[in-house]
A and B are shown apart, each in its own frame.
Chain A
Amino acid sequence: MTQRLLDLAGIGKDRLHLEWLSSAEAQRFADIAKKTVDAVRAMGPLDQDLCSMQLEAAQLTVDNEAVRWLVGKELSITSKGDVYGRSWDETKYEEVLDHALEREYHNNLIILAMKDGCSSVREISKRTGIAVLRISYLLADLERTGRAEFKGMTDSTAAFAAR
Chain B
Amino acid sequence: MAEFEPKIVAFLCNWCAYAGADLAGVSRMQYPSNLRTVRVMCSGRVDPAFVVKALKEGCDGVLVAG
Contacts and interface: CB of A to CB of B under 8 A. Distances in A.
Nearest to A48: B58
Interface stretch (A14-22, A79-87, A117-125, A131-139): A14-22
A45 B4 contact: yes
> SS class of chain A's interface: helix, strand, loop or mixed?
helix
Interface in B4-29: 4-6, 8, 10, 15-17, 19-21, 23-24, 26-27, 29
Most buried by A among B34, B55, B56: B55
Interface stretch (A27-35, A141-149, A155-163): A27-35
**Majority SS at the chain B contact face:** mixed
Contacts of B32: 33-34, 37-38
Contact of B16 (A23, A30, A45, A55): A23
Contact of B6 (A27, A41, A56): A41
A56 B64 CA distance: 21
A19 B21 CA distance: 13
Query: Chain B, interface size: which category?
Result: 35 or more
B47 to A, nearest CB: 7
Interface residues of A, number: 46
Contact of B55 (A11, A17, A38): A11
Nearest to B21: A29
Interface of A: 1-2, 5-6, 11, 14-34, 36-41, 43-46, 48, 51-52, 55-56, 58-59, 62-63, 71
Interface of B: 3-6, 8, 10, 15-17, 19-21, 23-24, 26-27, 29-32, 34-35, 47-49, 51-53, 55-56, 58-66
27 contacts: A1-B48, A15-B55, A16-B61, A17-B64, A18-B64, A19-B63, A20-B66, A21-B20, A21-B65, A22-B16, A22-B20, A25-B20, A26-B21, A26-B27, A27-B29, A29-B17, A29-B20, A29-B65, A34-B32, A36-B35, A40-B6, A46-B55, A48-B58, A55-B56, A62-B48, A62-B49, A62-B51
